[in-house]
Structure 1
Amino acid sequence: MNVSATLVTERLRRSRLDHLTRAVDIITRNRDDLVSFFTQNEQGKQMPAFLDRTAKHLADEQAALIKEMEQVTVRVEHIKTIVQTQQSYAGVLGAIEMVDAAVLLDDAVKLNAAAMERHKIQIERDYEPGLWVSLDKQKLVQVLVNLIKNAKEAVQRNSSGERRVTVRARIVDAARLQIEIIDSGEGIATEHLTRIFSQGFTTKKNGHGFGLHSSANAVKEMGGSLQAHSDGPGSGAAFTLELPYQPPTSRGA
Protein backbone atom coordinates (compact mmCIF):
# COMPACT_ATOMS: atom_id res chain seq x y z
CA MET A 1 0.00 0.00 0.00
CA ASN A 2 2.93 2.34 0.72
CA VAL A 3 4.16 1.80 -2.85
CA SER A 4 0.78 2.80 -4.34
CA ALA A 5 0.52 5.88 -2.10
CA THR A 6 4.04 6.91 -3.14
CA LEU A 7 3.15 6.47 -6.83
CA VAL A 8 0.04 8.62 -6.45
CA THR A 9 2.03 11.34 -4.68
CA GLU A 10 4.73 11.26 -7.35
CA ARG A 11 2.20 11.45 -10.19
CA LEU A 12 0.54 14.45 -8.56
CA ARG A 13 3.91 16.11 -8.06
CA ARG A 14 4.75 15.68 -11.76
CA SER A 15 1.27 16.60 -12.99
CA ARG A 16 0.90 18.98 -15.93
CA LEU A 17 -2.00 20.74 -14.30
CA ASP A 18 0.27 23.73 -13.67
CA HIS A 19 0.92 23.88 -17.46
CA LEU A 20 -2.81 24.24 -18.01
CA THR A 21 -2.98 26.93 -15.32
CA ARG A 22 -0.24 28.94 -17.06
CA ALA A 23 -1.98 28.55 -20.43
CA VAL A 24 -5.26 29.84 -18.96
CA ASP A 25 -3.36 32.79 -17.46
CA ILE A 26 -1.86 33.67 -20.87
CA ILE A 27 -5.25 33.44 -22.58
CA THR A 28 -6.82 35.58 -19.83
CA ARG A 29 -4.21 38.30 -20.36
CA ASN A 30 -5.15 38.39 -24.06
CA ARG A 31 -8.91 38.06 -23.60
CA ASP A 32 -9.63 41.51 -25.11
CA ASP A 33 -8.31 40.45 -28.52
CA LEU A 34 -8.32 36.67 -28.70
CA VAL A 35 -8.75 36.60 -32.49
CA SER A 36 -5.46 38.44 -33.01
CA PHE A 37 -3.77 36.42 -30.27
CA PHE A 38 -4.67 33.05 -31.85
CA THR A 39 -4.00 34.14 -35.45
CA GLN A 40 -1.04 36.53 -35.24
CA ASN A 41 0.80 35.89 -31.95
CA GLU A 42 3.35 33.03 -32.21
CA GLN A 43 2.51 31.82 -28.72
CA GLY A 44 -1.20 32.05 -29.50
CA LYS A 45 -0.84 30.06 -32.73
CA GLN A 46 0.68 27.17 -30.78
CA MET A 47 -1.89 27.35 -27.99
CA PRO A 48 -4.60 25.02 -29.50
CA ALA A 49 -2.08 22.22 -30.11
CA PHE A 50 -0.59 22.76 -26.65
CA LEU A 51 -4.01 22.60 -25.00
CA ASP A 52 -4.84 19.42 -26.94
CA ARG A 53 -1.61 17.71 -25.81
CA THR A 54 -2.11 18.85 -22.22
CA ALA A 55 -5.72 17.64 -22.15
CA LYS A 56 -4.68 14.18 -23.40
CA HIS A 57 -1.86 14.00 -20.86
CA LEU A 58 -4.18 15.01 -18.01
CA ALA A 59 -6.70 12.37 -19.11
CA ASP A 60 -3.93 9.75 -18.98
CA GLU A 61 -2.88 11.04 -15.55
CA GLN A 62 -6.45 10.76 -14.29
CA ALA A 63 -6.78 7.18 -15.57
CA ALA A 64 -3.49 6.19 -13.93
CA LEU A 65 -4.48 7.80 -10.61
CA ILE A 66 -7.87 6.07 -10.65
CA LYS A 67 -6.12 2.73 -11.24
CA GLU A 68 -3.68 3.34 -8.38
CA MET A 69 -6.45 4.38 -6.00
CA GLU A 70 -8.47 1.27 -6.92
CA GLN A 71 -5.43 -0.83 -5.95
CA VAL A 72 -5.12 1.09 -2.67
CA THR A 73 -8.81 0.40 -1.97
CA VAL A 74 -8.34 -3.33 -2.62
CA ARG A 75 -5.35 -3.44 -0.27
CA VAL A 76 -7.22 -1.56 2.44
CA GLU A 77 -10.01 -4.15 2.16
CA HIS A 78 -7.40 -6.92 2.47
CA ILE A 79 -6.08 -5.28 5.65
CA LYS A 80 -9.61 -4.94 7.07
CA THR A 81 -10.26 -8.62 6.35
CA ILE A 82 -7.02 -9.65 8.04
CA VAL A 83 -7.76 -7.52 11.12
CA GLN A 84 -11.33 -8.83 11.38
CA THR A 85 -10.15 -12.43 11.00
CA GLN A 86 -7.44 -11.99 13.63
CA GLN A 87 -9.90 -10.33 16.02
CA SER A 88 -12.28 -13.28 15.66
CA TYR A 89 -9.63 -15.48 17.29
CA ALA A 90 -8.62 -13.07 20.03
CA GLY A 91 -8.98 -14.35 23.57
CA VAL A 92 -9.90 -17.94 22.74
CA LEU A 93 -6.49 -19.61 23.11
CA GLY A 94 -6.88 -22.96 24.85
CA ALA A 95 -10.65 -23.15 24.40
CA ILE A 96 -11.81 -26.49 22.99
CA GLU A 97 -14.82 -26.21 20.73
CA MET A 98 -16.53 -27.95 17.83
CA VAL A 99 -15.76 -26.21 14.54
CA ASP A 100 -15.90 -26.87 10.81
CA ALA A 101 -12.29 -27.12 9.63
CA ALA A 102 -13.32 -25.56 6.29
CA VAL A 103 -14.02 -22.26 8.08
CA LEU A 104 -10.58 -22.30 9.70
CA LEU A 105 -8.95 -23.15 6.36
CA ASP A 106 -10.72 -20.21 4.70
CA ASP A 107 -9.53 -17.90 7.48
CA ALA A 108 -5.94 -19.14 7.12
CA VAL A 109 -6.15 -18.51 3.37
CA LYS A 110 -7.51 -14.98 3.98
CA LEU A 111 -4.57 -14.18 6.24
CA ASN A 112 -2.18 -15.13 3.42
CA ALA A 113 -4.25 -13.81 0.51
CA ALA A 114 -2.58 -10.40 0.14
CA ALA A 115 0.92 -11.92 -0.03
CA MET A 116 -0.30 -14.56 -2.50
CA GLU A 117 -1.77 -11.89 -4.75
CA ARG A 118 1.33 -9.71 -4.49
CA HIS A 119 3.54 -12.57 -5.67
CA LYS A 120 1.02 -13.73 -8.29
CA ILE A 121 0.54 -17.14 -6.69
CA GLN A 122 -2.75 -18.88 -7.40
CA ILE A 123 -4.46 -20.62 -4.50
CA GLU A 124 -6.94 -23.44 -5.02
CA ARG A 125 -9.36 -24.83 -2.43
CA ASP A 126 -10.90 -28.29 -2.48
CA TYR A 127 -12.89 -29.20 0.65
CA GLU A 128 -15.32 -31.97 1.43
CA PRO A 129 -18.39 -30.83 3.43
CA GLY A 130 -18.82 -31.51 7.12
CA LEU A 131 -15.20 -31.33 8.29
CA TRP A 132 -16.03 -31.30 12.01
CA VAL A 133 -13.26 -31.23 14.60
CA SER A 134 -13.18 -30.58 18.34
CA LEU A 135 -10.07 -28.63 19.28
CA ASP A 136 -8.42 -25.28 20.03
CA LYS A 137 -9.34 -23.42 16.84
CA GLN A 138 -6.78 -20.65 17.39
CA LYS A 139 -4.01 -23.22 17.62
CA LEU A 140 -5.11 -24.94 14.40
CA VAL A 141 -5.40 -21.65 12.51
CA GLN A 142 -1.86 -20.73 13.56
CA VAL A 143 -0.62 -24.06 12.18
CA LEU A 144 -2.54 -23.62 8.91
CA VAL A 145 -1.35 -20.03 8.45
CA ASN A 146 2.25 -21.16 8.95
CA LEU A 147 1.93 -24.07 6.49
CA ILE A 148 0.32 -21.89 3.80
CA LYS A 149 2.93 -19.18 4.36
CA ASN A 150 5.72 -21.75 3.98
CA ALA A 151 4.10 -23.04 0.78
CA LYS A 152 3.92 -19.50 -0.59
CA GLU A 153 7.59 -18.90 0.18
CA ALA A 154 8.57 -22.22 -1.45
CA VAL A 155 6.76 -21.18 -4.63
CA GLN A 156 8.50 -17.79 -4.54
CA ARG A 157 11.88 -19.50 -4.45
CA ASN A 158 11.03 -21.70 -7.44
CA SER A 159 11.92 -19.67 -10.53
CA SER A 160 10.26 -22.00 -13.06
CA GLY A 161 6.90 -23.70 -13.52
CA GLU A 162 3.45 -22.84 -12.26
CA ARG A 163 2.87 -20.72 -9.16
CA ARG A 164 0.21 -22.55 -7.23
CA VAL A 165 -0.77 -23.57 -3.70
CA THR A 166 -3.57 -26.09 -3.22
CA VAL A 167 -5.45 -26.49 0.06
CA ARG A 168 -7.34 -29.78 0.21
CA ALA A 169 -9.40 -31.32 3.02
CA ARG A 170 -11.32 -34.59 3.22
CA ILE A 171 -12.65 -37.18 5.61
CA VAL A 172 -10.37 -40.24 5.54
CA ASP A 173 -12.54 -42.54 7.63
CA ALA A 174 -14.88 -42.50 10.62
CA ALA A 175 -12.10 -41.31 12.91
CA ARG A 176 -9.75 -39.18 10.79
CA LEU A 177 -9.83 -35.93 8.85
CA GLN A 178 -7.00 -35.02 6.48
CA ILE A 179 -5.79 -31.58 5.37
CA GLU A 180 -3.16 -31.19 2.64
CA ILE A 181 -1.19 -28.07 1.76
CA ILE A 182 0.37 -28.74 -1.65
CA ASP A 183 2.72 -26.33 -3.41
CA SER A 184 4.49 -26.13 -6.76
CA GLY A 185 7.59 -24.74 -5.06
CA GLU A 186 11.25 -25.60 -4.83
CA GLY A 187 10.68 -29.03 -3.27
CA ILE A 188 12.49 -30.73 -0.39
CA ALA A 189 15.59 -32.90 -0.61
CA THR A 190 14.98 -36.50 0.50
CA GLU A 191 17.58 -36.29 3.26
CA HIS A 192 15.76 -33.29 4.75
CA LEU A 193 12.34 -34.92 5.02
CA THR A 194 13.24 -36.76 8.24
CA ARG A 195 14.67 -33.61 9.84
CA ILE A 196 12.29 -30.92 8.66
CA PHE A 197 10.24 -30.90 11.89
CA SER A 198 13.30 -30.88 14.17
CA GLN A 199 13.84 -27.80 16.31
CA GLY A 200 16.38 -25.45 14.75
CA PHE A 201 16.46 -27.16 11.34
CA THR A 202 15.87 -24.86 8.37
CA THR A 203 16.91 -24.49 4.75
CA LYS A 204 15.86 -20.84 4.60
CA LYS A 205 18.57 -18.20 4.44
CA ASN A 206 17.06 -16.20 7.32
CA GLY A 207 15.07 -18.99 8.96
CA HIS A 208 15.28 -20.15 12.57
CA GLY A 209 13.72 -23.61 12.32
CA PHE A 210 10.92 -22.89 14.80
CA GLY A 211 7.83 -22.77 12.55
CA LEU A 212 7.48 -26.39 11.45
CA HIS A 213 8.76 -27.71 14.78
CA SER A 214 6.14 -25.76 16.75
CA SER A 215 3.46 -26.67 14.18
CA ALA A 216 4.20 -30.38 14.54
CA ASN A 217 4.06 -30.08 18.34
CA ALA A 218 0.76 -28.17 18.20
CA VAL A 219 -0.79 -30.80 15.92
CA LYS A 220 0.39 -33.56 18.25
CA GLU A 221 -1.24 -31.74 21.20
CA MET A 222 -4.50 -31.73 19.21
CA GLY A 223 -4.26 -35.51 18.80
CA GLY A 224 -3.11 -35.39 15.19
CA SER A 225 -0.03 -35.80 13.04
CA LEU A 226 1.88 -33.71 10.50
CA GLN A 227 3.97 -35.19 7.68
CA ALA A 228 5.89 -33.82 4.70
CA HIS A 229 6.35 -35.35 1.26
CA SER A 230 8.38 -34.26 -1.77
CA ASP A 231 9.91 -35.99 -4.77
CA GLY A 232 12.95 -33.77 -4.41
CA PRO A 233 14.22 -30.33 -5.46
CA GLY A 234 12.08 -28.60 -8.07
CA SER A 235 9.10 -30.95 -7.66
CA GLY A 236 7.05 -29.10 -5.03
CA ALA A 237 5.98 -30.43 -1.66
CA ALA A 238 2.91 -31.57 0.26
CA PHE A 239 2.28 -31.25 3.99
CA THR A 240 -0.37 -33.63 5.29
CA LEU A 241 -2.13 -32.91 8.55
CA GLU A 242 -4.41 -35.54 10.09
CA LEU A 243 -6.79 -34.77 12.96
CA PRO A 244 -9.44 -36.67 14.89
CA TYR A 245 -12.74 -36.38 13.01
CA GLN A 246 -15.97 -35.76 14.91
CA PRO A 247 -18.81 -37.13 12.76
CA PRO A 248 -22.26 -35.53 13.15
CA THR A 249 -23.64 -38.52 15.10
CA SER A 250 -20.99 -38.12 17.82
CA ARG A 251 -21.17 -34.34 18.24
CA GLY A 252 -24.16 -34.42 20.53
CA ALA A 253 -22.99 -37.41 22.56
Structure 2
Amino acid sequence: MVAAVSVLSAFCLGLILYCLRLRATVKELGLNRKLKRNETTFTDSQMMNVAHQAGVAELNEGILKNIYHILNTINVSSSVVSEKVDRMETKSLGKLMRLVKEHENDLANFFEKDERGKKVPGALLQYAEYFGNAYESLVNEIQELTSMIQKLNQIVKAQQAYANVESRLDKVELASLVRDAVAMESRLLDEHRIDVQFELDNEARIKAPKIKLLQVIVTLIRNGCETMVMHNPAGPWVMSAKVSMSSDKVTLQVGDARALEHAEVVNPLASPSDSTTLTRRHFSLYYCANAIQEMHGAFLIFCEAPGHGALMRLEFPNAHAE
Protein backbone atom coordinates (compact mmCIF):
# COMPACT_ATOMS: atom_id res chain seq x y z
CA MET A 1 0.00 0.00 0.00
CA VAL A 2 2.79 2.40 0.96
CA ALA A 3 4.65 1.64 -2.28
CA ALA A 4 1.53 2.24 -4.38
CA VAL A 5 0.85 5.56 -2.67
CA SER A 6 4.49 6.58 -3.22
CA VAL A 7 4.19 5.85 -6.96
CA LEU A 8 0.96 7.87 -7.16
CA SER A 9 2.61 10.72 -5.25
CA ALA A 10 5.55 10.76 -7.67
CA PHE A 11 3.16 10.72 -10.63
CA CYS A 12 1.17 13.66 -9.25
CA LEU A 13 4.39 15.57 -8.54
CA GLY A 14 5.39 15.12 -12.19
CA LEU A 15 2.02 16.46 -13.34
CA ILE A 16 2.32 19.42 -10.98
CA LEU A 17 5.74 20.28 -12.40
CA TYR A 18 4.28 20.04 -15.90
CA CYS A 19 1.49 22.47 -14.97
CA LEU A 20 4.02 24.84 -13.42
CA ARG A 21 6.03 24.79 -16.65
CA LEU A 22 2.85 25.34 -18.64
CA ARG A 23 1.89 28.31 -16.50
CA ALA A 24 5.40 29.76 -16.81
CA THR A 25 5.16 29.43 -20.59
CA VAL A 26 1.80 31.18 -20.58
CA LYS A 27 3.27 34.01 -18.54
CA GLU A 28 6.11 34.35 -21.06
CA LEU A 29 3.50 34.73 -23.80
CA GLY A 30 2.03 37.81 -22.20
CA LEU A 31 1.21 37.69 -18.52
CA ASN A 32 3.26 40.75 -17.68
CA ARG A 33 1.24 43.85 -17.15
CA LYS A 34 4.22 46.09 -17.87
CA LEU A 35 3.73 45.33 -21.57
CA LYS A 36 0.53 47.32 -21.43
CA ARG A 37 2.35 50.28 -19.91
CA ASN A 38 5.01 50.02 -22.64
CA GLU A 39 2.26 50.43 -25.27
CA THR A 40 2.41 46.82 -26.47
CA THR A 41 -1.17 46.12 -27.41
CA PHE A 42 -3.06 42.89 -26.95
CA THR A 43 -6.42 42.48 -28.59
CA ASP A 44 -9.24 41.41 -26.30
CA SER A 45 -9.29 37.96 -27.92
CA GLN A 46 -5.53 37.51 -27.41
CA MET A 47 -5.81 38.59 -23.79
CA MET A 48 -8.71 36.22 -23.25
CA ASN A 49 -6.86 33.29 -24.87
CA VAL A 50 -3.78 33.85 -22.73
CA ALA A 51 -5.85 34.31 -19.58
CA HIS A 52 -7.95 31.24 -20.39
CA GLN A 53 -4.82 29.08 -20.78
CA ALA A 54 -3.51 30.43 -17.50
CA GLY A 55 -6.84 29.74 -15.83
CA VAL A 56 -6.97 26.13 -17.04
CA ALA A 57 -3.33 25.50 -16.06
CA GLU A 58 -3.94 27.07 -12.65
CA LEU A 59 -7.08 25.01 -12.05
CA ASN A 60 -5.37 21.74 -13.00
CA GLU A 61 -2.30 22.62 -10.96
CA GLY A 62 -4.45 23.29 -7.90
CA ILE A 63 -6.31 19.99 -8.25
CA LEU A 64 -3.06 18.06 -8.64
CA LYS A 65 -1.52 19.81 -5.64
CA ASN A 66 -4.56 18.84 -3.58
CA ILE A 67 -4.27 15.21 -4.67
CA TYR A 68 -0.50 15.13 -4.15
CA HIS A 69 -0.83 16.64 -0.65
CA ILE A 70 -3.50 14.12 0.35
CA LEU A 71 -1.52 11.19 -1.07
CA ASN A 72 1.49 12.30 0.97
CA THR A 73 -0.67 12.45 4.09
CA ILE A 74 -2.04 8.96 3.34
CA ASN A 75 1.52 7.74 2.80
CA VAL A 76 2.64 9.15 6.15
CA SER A 77 -0.41 7.78 8.01
CA SER A 78 -0.03 4.30 6.52
CA SER A 79 3.69 4.31 7.43
CA VAL A 80 2.86 5.36 11.00
CA VAL A 81 0.29 2.54 11.32
CA SER A 82 2.80 0.03 9.95
CA GLU A 83 5.55 1.19 12.33
CA LYS A 84 3.23 1.12 15.35
CA VAL A 85 2.13 -2.43 14.55
CA ASP A 86 5.76 -3.52 14.08
CA ARG A 87 6.75 -2.00 17.43
CA MET A 88 3.93 -3.55 19.42
CA GLU A 89 5.32 -5.69 22.23
CA THR A 90 3.73 -9.11 21.82
CA LYS A 91 6.62 -11.50 22.51
CA SER A 92 6.67 -10.84 26.26
CA LEU A 93 2.94 -11.38 26.45
CA GLY A 94 3.41 -14.69 24.66
CA LYS A 95 6.03 -15.76 27.21
CA LEU A 96 3.75 -14.76 30.05
CA MET A 97 0.84 -16.75 28.67
CA ARG A 98 3.06 -19.82 28.12
CA LEU A 99 4.15 -19.57 31.75
CA VAL A 100 0.51 -19.52 32.85
CA LYS A 101 -0.22 -22.46 30.55
CA GLU A 102 2.54 -24.48 32.20
CA HIS A 103 0.76 -24.12 35.56
CA GLU A 104 -2.83 -24.42 34.34
CA ASN A 105 -3.47 -27.42 36.59
CA ASP A 106 -2.32 -25.57 39.70
CA LEU A 107 -3.06 -21.88 39.03
CA ALA A 108 -4.23 -21.04 42.56
CA ASN A 109 -1.02 -22.31 44.12
CA PHE A 110 1.08 -20.73 41.34
CA PHE A 111 -0.44 -17.26 41.81
CA GLU A 112 -0.30 -17.45 45.60
CA LYS A 113 3.12 -18.97 46.30
CA ASP A 114 5.32 -18.70 43.19
CA GLU A 115 7.14 -15.34 42.89
CA ARG A 116 6.62 -15.41 39.14
CA GLY A 117 2.94 -16.20 39.54
CA LYS A 118 2.44 -13.31 41.98
CA LYS A 119 3.59 -10.90 39.24
CA VAL A 120 1.18 -12.19 36.60
CA PRO A 121 -1.93 -10.08 37.53
CA GLY A 122 0.12 -6.86 37.60
CA ALA A 123 1.80 -7.75 34.31
CA LEU A 124 -1.56 -8.46 32.68
CA LEU A 125 -2.87 -5.09 33.89
CA GLN A 126 0.15 -3.35 32.35
CA TYR A 127 -0.41 -5.19 29.08
CA ALA A 128 -4.08 -4.23 29.13
CA GLU A 129 -3.11 -0.55 29.50
CA TYR A 130 -0.43 -0.83 26.85
CA PHE A 131 -2.66 -2.46 24.26
CA GLY A 132 -5.53 -0.11 25.10
CA ASN A 133 -3.32 2.90 24.35
CA ALA A 134 -1.93 1.24 21.22
CA TYR A 135 -5.46 0.47 20.03
CA GLU A 136 -6.59 4.07 20.58
CA SER A 137 -3.55 5.41 18.73
CA LEU A 138 -4.10 3.07 15.78
CA VAL A 139 -7.81 3.94 15.61
CA ASN A 140 -6.92 7.66 15.43
CA GLU A 141 -4.44 7.04 12.61
CA ILE A 142 -6.93 4.88 10.70
CA GLN A 143 -9.64 7.52 11.12
CA GLU A 144 -7.24 10.14 9.73
CA LEU A 145 -6.43 7.78 6.87
CA THR A 146 -10.12 7.21 6.15
CA SER A 147 -10.80 10.96 6.26
CA MET A 148 -8.01 11.65 3.76
CA ILE A 149 -9.26 8.93 1.40
CA GLN A 150 -12.79 10.38 1.55
CA LYS A 151 -11.41 13.85 0.83
CA LEU A 152 -9.42 12.46 -2.10
CA ASN A 153 -12.60 10.84 -3.46
CA GLN A 154 -14.43 14.17 -3.15
CA ILE A 155 -11.76 16.01 -5.12
CA VAL A 156 -11.57 13.36 -7.84
CA LYS A 157 -15.37 13.18 -8.17
CA ALA A 158 -15.64 16.96 -8.35
CA GLN A 159 -12.94 17.07 -11.03
CA GLN A 160 -14.46 14.20 -13.02
CA ALA A 161 -17.82 15.96 -13.04
CA TYR A 162 -16.31 18.75 -15.14
CA ALA A 163 -13.52 16.97 -17.02
CA ASN A 164 -15.55 16.38 -20.18
CA VAL A 165 -18.00 19.27 -19.93
CA GLU A 166 -18.19 21.21 -23.17
CA SER A 167 -18.15 24.99 -23.23
CA ARG A 168 -21.90 25.36 -23.65
CA LEU A 169 -24.55 27.20 -21.74
CA ASP A 170 -26.21 25.11 -19.06
CA LYS A 171 -28.71 25.90 -16.36
CA VAL A 172 -26.26 25.72 -13.47
CA GLU A 173 -27.08 25.12 -9.82
CA LEU A 174 -24.69 27.70 -8.41
CA ALA A 175 -24.67 26.39 -4.82
CA SER A 176 -23.51 22.95 -5.99
CA LEU A 177 -20.77 24.50 -8.13
CA VAL A 178 -19.52 26.52 -5.14
CA ARG A 179 -19.34 23.36 -2.99
CA ASP A 180 -17.33 21.58 -5.70
CA ALA A 181 -14.92 24.51 -6.03
CA VAL A 182 -14.38 24.56 -2.26
CA ALA A 183 -13.75 20.78 -2.31
CA MET A 184 -11.15 21.25 -5.05
CA GLU A 185 -9.39 23.93 -2.99
CA SER A 186 -9.63 22.05 0.32
CA ARG A 187 -5.85 21.65 0.55
CA LEU A 188 -5.27 25.41 0.35
CA LEU A 189 -8.03 26.12 2.87
CA ASP A 190 -6.74 23.45 5.27
CA GLU A 191 -3.15 24.65 4.87
CA HIS A 192 -4.09 28.17 6.01
CA ARG A 193 -6.69 26.92 8.53
CA ILE A 194 -9.44 28.91 6.81
CA ASP A 195 -13.00 27.96 7.70
CA VAL A 196 -15.65 28.37 5.01
CA GLN A 197 -19.01 29.74 6.10
CA PHE A 198 -21.64 28.63 3.61
CA GLU A 199 -24.86 30.54 3.07
CA LEU A 200 -26.21 28.97 -0.09
CA ASP A 201 -29.60 29.22 -1.75
CA ASN A 202 -29.96 25.79 -3.35
CA GLU A 203 -32.71 27.04 -5.66
CA ALA A 204 -30.49 29.62 -7.39
CA ARG A 205 -29.94 28.86 -11.10
CA ILE A 206 -28.01 30.74 -13.79
CA LYS A 207 -27.22 30.07 -17.44
CA ALA A 208 -23.45 29.65 -17.87
CA PRO A 209 -20.74 27.30 -19.19
CA LYS A 210 -20.00 25.11 -16.17
CA ILE A 211 -16.26 24.59 -16.58
CA LYS A 212 -15.56 28.27 -17.20
CA LEU A 213 -17.64 29.32 -14.20
CA LEU A 214 -15.88 26.69 -12.08
CA GLN A 215 -12.51 28.18 -13.08
CA VAL A 216 -13.77 31.61 -12.04
CA ILE A 217 -14.99 30.45 -8.62
CA VAL A 218 -11.75 28.53 -7.93
CA THR A 219 -9.74 31.65 -8.83
CA LEU A 220 -11.87 33.79 -6.50
CA ILE A 221 -11.37 31.32 -3.64
CA ARG A 222 -7.60 31.48 -4.12
CA ASN A 223 -7.63 35.27 -4.25
CA GLY A 224 -9.75 35.39 -1.11
CA CYS A 225 -7.35 33.06 0.75
CA GLU A 226 -4.30 35.06 -0.31
CA THR A 227 -5.69 38.44 0.72
CA MET A 228 -7.10 37.21 4.03
CA VAL A 229 -3.80 35.68 5.16
CA MET A 230 -1.78 38.64 3.89
CA HIS A 231 -3.81 41.39 5.54
CA ASN A 232 -4.89 39.59 8.70
CA PRO A 233 -1.90 37.35 9.52
CA ALA A 234 -3.02 36.65 13.09
CA GLY A 235 -6.41 35.30 12.02
CA PRO A 236 -8.99 34.03 12.64
CA TRP A 237 -9.86 33.39 9.01
CA VAL A 238 -13.41 32.76 7.91
CA MET A 239 -14.24 32.82 4.22
CA SER A 240 -17.79 33.66 3.24
CA ALA A 241 -19.35 31.70 0.37
CA LYS A 242 -22.82 33.12 -0.14
CA VAL A 243 -25.33 32.51 -2.92
CA SER A 244 -28.55 34.52 -2.81
CA MET A 245 -31.40 35.03 -5.25
CA SER A 246 -33.93 37.76 -5.99
CA SER A 247 -36.66 37.82 -8.61
CA ASP A 248 -34.32 38.93 -11.40
CA LYS A 249 -30.74 38.14 -10.34
CA VAL A 250 -28.48 35.67 -8.55
CA THR A 251 -25.57 36.93 -6.44
CA LEU A 252 -22.42 35.07 -5.42
CA GLN A 253 -20.03 36.47 -2.82
CA VAL A 254 -16.67 34.84 -2.05
CA GLY A 255 -14.03 36.16 0.35
CA ASP A 256 -13.79 38.13 3.57
CA ALA A 257 -17.24 39.47 4.47
CA ARG A 258 -15.64 42.22 6.59
CA ALA A 259 -14.61 43.95 3.36
CA LEU A 260 -18.26 44.90 2.79
CA GLU A 261 -18.13 47.40 5.64
CA HIS A 262 -15.39 49.81 4.57
CA ALA A 263 -13.54 48.59 1.50
CA GLU A 264 -12.78 50.33 -1.78
CA VAL A 265 -14.99 48.88 -4.51
CA VAL A 266 -13.46 48.39 -7.97
CA ASN A 267 -14.48 47.05 -11.36
CA PRO A 268 -11.72 44.66 -12.52
CA LEU A 269 -12.07 45.74 -16.16
CA ALA A 270 -11.95 49.47 -15.48
CA SER A 271 -9.74 49.68 -12.41
CA PRO A 272 -6.78 52.05 -11.98
CA SER A 273 -3.42 50.29 -12.17
CA ASP A 274 -2.54 51.14 -8.57
CA SER A 275 -5.28 48.92 -7.14
CA THR A 276 -3.49 46.53 -4.77
CA THR A 277 -5.86 43.70 -5.58
CA LEU A 278 -5.37 43.96 -9.33
CA THR A 279 -1.66 44.78 -9.48
CA ARG A 280 -0.66 41.38 -8.12
CA ARG A 281 -3.36 39.29 -9.75
CA HIS A 282 -4.41 41.30 -12.78
CA PHE A 283 -4.57 38.57 -15.37
CA SER A 284 -6.40 35.96 -13.32
CA LEU A 285 -9.02 38.55 -12.34
CA TYR A 286 -9.07 39.96 -15.87
CA TYR A 287 -9.96 36.48 -17.08
CA CYS A 288 -12.68 36.19 -14.42
CA ALA A 289 -14.12 39.61 -15.26
CA ASN A 290 -14.26 38.89 -19.00
CA ALA A 291 -15.73 35.44 -18.41
CA ILE A 292 -18.45 36.91 -16.19
CA GLN A 293 -19.13 39.61 -18.76
CA GLU A 294 -19.61 36.90 -21.41
CA MET A 295 -22.19 35.34 -19.09
CA HIS A 296 -24.02 38.71 -18.98
CA GLY A 297 -22.98 39.11 -15.35
CA ALA A 298 -21.32 41.81 -13.28
CA PHE A 299 -18.13 41.54 -11.20
CA LEU A 300 -17.13 43.82 -8.34
CA ILE A 301 -14.21 43.58 -5.92
CA PHE A 302 -14.30 44.91 -2.38
CA CYS A 303 -10.55 45.43 -1.99
CA GLU A 304 -8.39 44.11 0.82
CA ALA A 305 -7.02 46.44 3.49
CA PRO A 306 -5.17 46.08 6.80
CA GLY A 307 -7.26 43.80 9.00
CA HIS A 308 -9.33 42.12 6.30
CA GLY A 309 -9.03 40.41 2.93
CA ALA A 310 -10.87 41.04 -0.31
CA LEU A 311 -14.39 40.00 -1.18
CA MET A 312 -15.53 39.30 -4.75
CA ARG A 313 -19.16 39.73 -5.76
CA LEU A 314 -20.69 38.28 -8.92
CA GLU A 315 -24.19 39.04 -10.18
CA PHE A 316 -25.99 37.04 -12.87
CA PRO A 317 -29.43 37.09 -14.47
CA ASN A 318 -31.75 34.68 -12.69
CA ALA A 319 -32.38 31.67 -14.95
CA HIS A 320 -35.77 31.15 -13.26
CA ALA A 321 -36.87 34.56 -14.54
CA GLU A 322 -36.15 33.70 -18.19
Q: What is the TM-score when the length of structure 1 is the normalising length?
A: 0.76
1:73 aligns with 2:154: no
Look up the equivalent residue of 1:20 and give its one-letter code.
L
Map of 1:152-231 to 2, 5 A cutoff?
Answer: 152-156=225-229, 158-171=232-245, 174=248, 176-183=249-256, 194=275, 196-197=277-278, 201=280, 211-230=284-303
- Any conservation in 2 of the 1:17–1:58 contact (CA below 8 Å)? no
The verdict on how the C-alpha distance between 1:224 and 1:64 changes in structure 2, with shifts beyond 3 A counting, is: same
Distance 1:40 1:210 in 2: 85
- Any conservation in 1 of the 2:155–2:183 contact (CA below 8 Å)? yes
The verdict on how the C-alpha distance between 1:67 and 1:113 changes in structure 2, with shifts beyond 3 A counting, is: same
- Any conservation in 2 of the 1:161–1:184 contact (CA below 8 Å)? no
**2:318 maps to what in 1?**
246
Distance 1:29 1:214 in 2: 79
Deviations 1:47-102 (A, max 9, x none): 32111111111012112212221222222122212212211112113121122222
Pick the aligned partner of 1:100 from 173, 183, 208: 173
- Any conservation in 1 of the 2:112–2:118 contact (CA below 8 Å)? yes
Instruction: Give the Å deviation of 1:165.
Output: 0.9
Distance 1:223 1:184 in 2: 24
- Any conservation in 2 of the 1:182–1:239 contact (CA below 8 Å)? yes
Pick the aligned partner of 2:96 from 11, 20, 23: 23
Distance 1:211 1:234 in 2: 24
Instruction: Give the Å deviation of 1:116.
Output: 3.6
SS of corresponding position for 1:236: coil
- Any conservation in 2 of the 1:116–1:152 contact (CA below 8 Å)? yes
Aligned length: 238
**1:205 maps to what in 2?**
none
**2:213 maps to what in 1?**
140
**1:88 maps to what in 2?**
161
Pick the aligned partner of 1:111 from 178, 184, 195: 184
- Any conservation in 2 of the 1:38–1:44 contact (CA below 8 Å)? yes
Distance 2:77 2:258 in 1: 28
Look up the equivalent residue of 1:112 and give its one-letter code.
E
More helix by share: 2
Q: What is the TM-score when the length of structure 2 is the normalising length?
A: 0.62
Instruction: Give the Å deviation of 1:119.
Output: 5.0
1:3 aligns with 2:76: yes
Distance 1:66 1:25 in 2: 29
Look up the equivalent residue of 1:83 and give its one-letter code.
V
Instruction: Give the Å deviation of 1:32.
Output: 6.2
Deviations 1:83-128 (A, max 9, x none): 1221111211312112222221222223234654565432112234
